Amino acid sequence: MDLEALNKVAIAMVEPGKGLLAADESHGTIGKRFDSISTENTEENRRDWREMLFRTENAMKNHVSGVILFDETLRQSAKDGTKFVDLIKSHGSIPGIKVDKGITPLAGRPGENITQGLDGLRERLAEYYELGARFAKWRAVIEISHPDQYVGATPTRGGIKANNHALGRYAALCQEANIVPIVEPEILMGGHHSVERCHEVTEKVLNSLFTELYEQGVALEGTILKPNMVVAGKKCPDQPSREEIAERTIKVLKDTVPAAVPGIAFLSGGQDNEEATRNLDMMNKIGGFPWKLTYSYGRALQQSALFAWQGKAENYDAAQTAFNHRAHMNGLASLGQWTQGEDDKVAA
158 to 112, 162, 164: CA distances (angstroms)? 10, 6, 10
Beta strands in the chain (DSSP E): 19-23, 64-69, 94-98, 103-105, 113-115, 135-142, 180-187, 224-225, 263-266, 292-297
Packing angle, helices 316-333 and 273-286, rounded to 10: 30
Question: 147 and 194 in contact (C-beta within 8 Å)?
Answer: yes
- Which amino acid, residue 276? A
Catalytic residue among 18, 98, 137, 226: 226
Dihedral sign, Cα of residue 320, residue 323, residue 329, residue 330: negative
Catalytic residue among 184, 212, 274, 292: 184
Q: Is 184 a catalytic residue?
A: yes
Q: Is 40 a catalytic residue?
A: no
193 to 13, 163, 255: CA distances (angstroms)? 32, 21, 21
DSSP structure string for 59-106? HHHHHEEEEEE-HHHHH-B-TTS-BHHHHHHHTT-EEEEE----EEEP
Nearest CA among 344, 316, 288 for reference residue 50: 316
Please report how many Cα atoms fall inside a 13 Å half-sphere around the Cα of residue 160, on the Cβ side: 19
Q: Which residues are catalytic?
A: 184, 226
